[in-house]
Structure 1
């Protein structure tokens, strides 16, 4: 993931020495395990700035810090529950007071229901979108004002390969606004709830897959990239990357890559700022 960020800046014409001078504070959400943990590890090995590992549970986060300490790495920890606005606000206040800004934000936090979970699809759709889409968007809206010139935001996303061509077209529409995207997401949740009310049967396996993918559409990053280009702060880059099918709790350990291979995948393919660089389906 270190090279993901470096490649973003390199595309803007910066030398590596200048890049390392600018980026001093790294924030990775949902990083006590899985790909997020691997991203923290890679950043600690590659850069001299402060790298913050975050998790909902303080105990799990501190245990992850201890594991990295055993490897000779010194990440820092801050509690963060992206579904809790007060938790997000506390993180912002801490970063603003302690560092005066933020250089790199890796939005990795997210959830996925297990296939065998008894919850109905309507609940899965509502809860998953609440976390993976709206809570992540909330984190962006709270923390983006802290971004300093030359900052980088490489969000981790999934592919949307099982939606109809018409739906994919709506996500890919270059004129789509964030307000329009939020309406699409709300309609998806409303339709799921309506199916529950009408007691309609749905293909749970297919719809679960669509929920995981639809809940974190890459189009949101494209919209944010268009908006941030109008910002007076110089050279802020928003990219979108996908780790591929990784063996983690989120994929019920059904992936084909290790967490370090997943981190390497992002590093290899996320080379063009503001563009869709994902080329394979993914289990998140």
Structure 2
């Protein structure tokens, strides 16, 4: 039987969401269970990993959806926004991957939620762009670039160095860049057929968009679910940036 672990930082809201899901889909009552996860808390991540290992023995699908975005009228200094956003959207996601990747079964599928707000060409500095997509790039080197962005943002010189003026966008650039690296690492063991892709769900009517999004949550879930259920040994997409089930040219 399929088991789905529904995760949320706020336990009360997470349990409420699961109950709403179960009310609209009775078949989900036995399949969907809640577990608390705060991706900015290493102990919380480790508790989840231990739970999955003990309860399920492994993992077939991982969808990294947790993220934050400051509102355009937020008065928090941009340097602080950059640091807080990166800690959640990028470093928190990397910590989750580090904890859960050892539990991945053969033919596992990973989906990293990214965004069109994080297209590579929003970085005007060609050297930074090349370093992000270099064949020798590593998760550590991407982390260094993001930390440099944070440093420059705190100095209010990030745009002078060619970085975008978007903390959210820069965090998603880093997520997509890491996705390429993760697939490259998985491809070192091709027989395992583990596939990871990044995707943009679209401009969806959720709390993150202040309910201004034009797409429904169901539409936003379509591409992530498509990527999470790719057929065994599929050639493409693998290590790609996808939207509306189509591969986009992220590196252009």
Is the shorter-chain TM-score for this pair beyond 0.5, marking a shared fold? yes
Q: Give SS of 2:113's match.
A: coil
Task: Indicate which of 223, 226, 231 corresponds to 2:181.
Answer: 223
Q: Is the 1:244–1:265 Cα contact (8 Å) retained in structure 2?
A: no
Runs of 4 or more, structure 1, over 6 Å off, are: none
Partner residue, 2:209: 251
Counterpart Cα distance in 1 of 2:33 and 2:63:
15
Unaligned 5+ segments in structure 2 are: 231-235
Q: Is 1:164 the equivalent of 2:124? A: yes
Q: Is 1:262 the equivalent of 2:231? A: no
Question: How does 1:267-282 map onto structure 2 within 5 Å?
Answer: 272-278=237-243, 279=248
Partner residue, 1:98: 55
Q: Is the 2:182–2:239 Cα contact (8 Å) retained in structure 1?
A: no
Pair 1:268–1:256, CA change in 2 (3 A): farther
TM-score by length of 2: 0.82
Q: Is 1:66 the equivalent of 2:26? A: no
TM-score by length of 1: 0.73
Deviations 1:228-277 (A, max 9, x none): 22248711111111111112111222222111111224456886122232
For the aligned residue pairs, the C-alpha RMSD in angstroms reads: 2.5
Most deviating of 122-131 and 225-234: 225-234
Q: Give SS of 1:220's match.
A: helix
Counterpart Cα distance in 2 of 1:94 and 1:111:
25
Structure number with the higher strand fraction is 2
Q: Is the 2:241–2:249 Cα contact (8 Å) retained in structure 1?
A: no
Deviations 1:154-212 (A, max 9, x none): 1111232432161433323333111111110110001011229xxx999xxx72xx211
Counterpart Cα distance in 2 of 1:81 and 1:114:
21
Pair 1:258–1:193, CA change in 2 (3 A): same
Q: Give SS of 1:175's match.
A: coil
Flag the structure with more relative contact order, 1 or 2, with Cα contacts below 8 A and sequence separation at least 6.
1
Most deviating of 104-113 and 152-161: 152-161
Q: Give SS of 1:135's match.
A: helix
Task: Indicate which of 196, 207, 214 corresponds to 2:170.
Answer: 214
Most deviating of 167-176 and 215-224: 167-176
Pair 1:266–1:65, CA change in 2 (3 A): closer
Counterpart Cα distance in 1 of 2:216 and 2:206:
8
Q: State the aligned residue count.
A: 226
Q: Give SS of 1:174's match.
A: coil
Q: Give SS of 2:7's match.
A: strand
Task: Indicate which of 140, 145, 159 corresponds to 1:184.
Answer: 145
